Amino acid sequence: MNCFPNLFYILPIRIVGVIGEDFPQDYLDLFTQRGVDIEGIKRERGETFHWRGRYHEDINVRDTIELHLNVLAGFEPQLPENYRDAEYVFLGNIDPVMQLEVLNQIRHMKLVICDTMYSLADSVSMKEDWGHSSNVVGVELCQLAGVHQLCLFHHEPIYDDAQIASVLAETRRYAEITGEAPLEIVSAYDGMEIEL
């Protein structure tokens, strides 16, 4: 699901991450050819993160065959100075400590779009090693970084609209109970547009 395909046309895209010596230059060239700023990508000695798995007929069941953190292990994101003025931040599925390190380096965020595929219950039970954040982690990251708008993104594929609405309601309730400042929370959906 790609709710934000038009971002390439209206906002500067800046990527933060780490790659190994094995990462093909051709892939980086694809980004730069499309106007994506890759100054925040660090190439380190070693190999790039690698995951290989097998999905079963029931897509909710999968086996990890290989997981190699490689250069991602111990990575500490350092944002270039020109990235620190970003108003809109997309956080992919990495360690929440790294996500917070990114947010803490940005001065005036208006919106965080966060990979929050699972509810807290899912993320600490049967899917704790699947590498995706929860709705609660998204709220806590925004509260710690002083962000006032959160968009939950990349929902569990088996959730229907009612389940997504339920996760959104429990997320809003959690933010209300735990936060000192108001946090506006929305849930991404196909075709969604956010007024910037």
Total domains in the chain come to 2
The tens digit of pLDDT for each residue in 127-175 reads 555 556 788 889 999 999 999 999 998 877 778 889 889 989 999 999 9
pTM: 0.82
For residue 1, name the pLDDT band (cuts at 50, 70, 90).
very low
For residue 102, name the pLDDT band (cuts at 50, 70, 90).
very high
List phi, psi (to 5°) of 12. -70, 135
Which structural domain, as residue segments, surrounds residue 159? 84-191
Looking at the fold, whether 100 and 172 belong to one and the same domain comes out as yes
End-of-domain residue from the set 78, 102, 137:
78
Looking at the fold, whether 16 and 71 belong to one and the same domain comes out as yes
pLDDT of residue 8 exceeding 60: no
Residue 185 forms part of a structural domain? yes
Residue 2 forms part of a structural domain? no
Sign of the torsion angle spanned by Cα atoms 138, 142, 89, 168: positive
pLDDT of residue 23 exceeding 80: yes
